[in-house]
């Protein structure tokens, strides 16, 4: 299992600026996440809902471009942990569908904007979302000083 970059818009309409996070390699465009956010003025960390608009593996050309852009700005991407990483999804799949028992909100690509937006009823309960937000907020504060590479090392032992 590895790590990659994800560009995430906040909210469910795909209409905000994109922010880059480090995510598990199983994350894909259209997935809803509960990333942490650091307020630009107060520095307060809080959780929100977001949709992954695109992803890039660190070793891909696009991933290397993103990494260089962030390094040139002195920015380290924050980690956005999935529900599974936060312990909400147990890994047990529903019979018949093969989906995890707790799944994410439904999204689709808007034909006019090309952005992923929420498109259907969520099957995730509010407590699962709140737990994941809290997990991301708690770990954002504790990850100060953690680099993308040290996060990646936890998944693949530094193998590239």
C-alpha to C-alpha distance for 82 and 160, rounded to whole angstroms: 22
Question: What is the value of pTM for the model shown?
Answer: 0.76
Instruction: Report which of 81, 89, 80 is spatially closest to residue 124, judged by C-alpha positions.
Output: 89
C-alpha to C-alpha distance for 144 and 146, rounded to whole angstroms: 5
Percent of the chain at pLDDT above 70?
72
Instruction: Report which of 138, 128, 122 is spatially closest to residue 89, judged by C-alpha positions.
Output: 128
Return the domain boundaries, the chain: 3-145
DSSP the chain: --EEEEEEEESSSS-S-EEEEEEETT--TT-EE--EEE-TTT--EEE--EEEEEEEETTSHHHHHHHHHHHHTT--PEE---TTTTTS--SPBPTTT--BSS-PPPEEE-TTT--EEE-S---S-HHHHHHHHHHHHHHHHHTTT--HHHHHHHHHTT--
Q: Are 105 and 116 a contacting pair, CB within 8 Å? A: no
Q: Are 50 and 11 a contacting pair, CB within 8 Å? A: yes
Per-residue pLDDT tens for 51-95?
A: 999 999 988 999 999 989 989 988 888 999 988 888 886 555 555
Whether residue 158 has pLDDT greater than 50: no
Look at 18 and 103; give whichever has higher pLDDT: 18
């Amino acid at each position: 299992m590895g790590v990659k970059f994800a560009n995430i818009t906040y909210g469910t309409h795909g209409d905000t600026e994109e922010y880059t996070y480090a995510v598990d390699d199983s994350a894909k465009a259209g997935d809803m996440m509960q990333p942490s956010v650091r307020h630009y003025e107060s520095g307060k960390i809080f959780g929100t809902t977001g949709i992954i608009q695109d992803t890039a593996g660190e070793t891909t050309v696009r991933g290397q471009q993103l990494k260089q852009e962030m390094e040139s700005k002195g920015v380290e991407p924050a980690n956005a942990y999935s529900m599974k990483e936060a312990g909400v999804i147990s890994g047990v799949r529903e019979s018949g569908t093969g989906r995890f028992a707790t799944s994410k909100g439904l999204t689709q690509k808007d034909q006019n904007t090309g952005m992923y937006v929420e498109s259907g009823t969520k099957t995730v309960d509010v407590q699962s979302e709140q737990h994941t937000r809290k997990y991301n907020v708690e770990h954002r504060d504790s990850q100060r000083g953690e680099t993308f590479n040290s996060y990646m090392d936890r998944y693949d032992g530094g193998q590239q």
